[in-house]
Copies of this chain bind each other. A is one copy, B any other.
Amino acid sequence: MDTNALARTPHPAAAELSRELYALVEELYPICRSITGDGVRQTLAILSRHLPIQVREVPSGTAVLDWTVPNEWNIRDAYIKDASGKRVVDFRAHNLHVVNYSTPVHTKLSLAALRPHLHTLPKQPDLIPYRTSYYQETWGFCLSQHQLDALPEGDYEVHIDATLAPGSLTYGEFVLPGQSDEEILISTHLCHPSLCDDNLSGLSVSVQLARALAALPSRRHTVRFLYAPGTIGAITWLARNRESAARIRHGLTLTCLGDQHPFTYKKTVFGNALVDRAAAWVLGRAAAETGTAHQVIDFFPYGYDERQYNSPGFRIPVGSLMRGRHGQFPEYHTSADNLTFVSPERLAESLDVLRRIVEVVDGNVAYRNLSPWGEPQLGKRGLYKAMGGTDIPDLSMALLWVLNLSDGRHTLLDIAERAKMDFKTVRIAADMLLAHDLLGELRQGD
């Protein structure tokens, strides 16, 4: 894509953009999502107000790779009532109170018989944990340790008003065409119930990235945005889109982008794919600008849907961008991952970094110096300040770097890395040289 165009794209003022990012998280927060069901459909309907997302339904029982699309789960209400009929655990208070994908149940049990179905976090006694049981039929409730400790012995009425029955799995996608049919994939999971950072933050940032890229006059790559339940959603998409999958050159999963932690980028299984280098470069430059830390970590076959994309059959280079790391902050997968845990400013920062990474991935071209014998005389073209003998600024150095390394074997990111410059500076220098016919596209055989 034309990065200058991107920089010029009219978009809401920074503060307004921050507010929009946060507002979408707020709107999505109350919905009880799962890997199937109406919560997913509601979520996609809200996202579709911002983007023309195509919603897909895949029937329960469909074989997808080594898996099978499960029955659809929907829940209306759930509670535990004490002997007095008072709801002591109430789904209406927080949808984390029910183990996600619980089978329906309505019975009376002693506290002792109930205990194996109750999940708490003894070390974080104020918080409700998030638990799921997608592929083993069972039911359960999650509650704070304090809640549990306060329950007297006695009988309890347990009711989960849910259905687990043939239906379908729902996901959405939005494809932004580019000059080439080679694709960049932005994949976010949308299966978590009321958890803000994981992963309403990813959904909100993804939607705003799509809007920003859609506003550009053009992009080199086609960009595909996928909104699907974790694991089974990615597997379903891969099973149904083998040809599209084969065209994906670069990808990112997005998660936990609204919290206060510095950025973490998790590499693809390749370890040195373009998206790996682009993310490391952008995060390094951004960290230097702001004086903050960041980390780049190696791939491991756990986490989010990068696991599926990077599997040996597909080997699509998909990295993962996040702030707080999966499983490594105390609010992770608890009721503390709420609206106070994420902020408009951090969401906006995440969007900015993500845009810059996509700019690099999309704009990383190798050129050919058309005047490769010695340095071309920049002065006569007005590309060099006339008075020698002093230091030259960054852009002049960028011109010299692009000329020196444009031998067909170095891309602009190679040059930025070697020159230790922002990708954008190098991109601008290349555009100036292209305009002066000092740089050209590669010819076949270069």
Chain A positions near chain B (C-beta within 8 angstroms): 65-67, 129-136, 138, 231, 234-235, 238-239, 269, 298, 300-302, 307-308, 310-315, 327, 333, 369, 371-377, 379-380, 386-389, 391-392, 397, 400-401, 403-407, 418-419
Contacts and interface: CB of A to CB of B under 8 A. Distances in A.
B374 A66 contact: yes
Nearest to A136: B386
B269 A404 contact: yes
A392 B302 CA distance: 9
B132 A238 contact: no
Given A238-B373, A375-B307, A401 B301 contact: yes
A231 to B, nearest CB: 8
Contacts of A406: 312
A232 B132 CA distance: 69
Nearest to A235: B374
**DSSP majority for the A interface?**
loop
7 contacts: A66-B371, A129-B389, A301-B397, A302-B400, A311-B372, A312-B372, A315-B407
Contacts of A313: 369, 372-374
Contacts of A407: 312, 315
Of all A-B residue pairs in the complex, the 3 with the closest CB atoms, nearest first, are: A313-B372, A313-B373, A136-B386
Given A133-B388, A301-B401, A302-B392, 10 more contacts: A65-B374, A67-B377, A131-B387, A235-B375, A300-B397, A301-B397, A301-B404, A311-B404, A312-B372, A314-B373
Contacts of A375: 66, 231, 235, 301, 307-308, 311
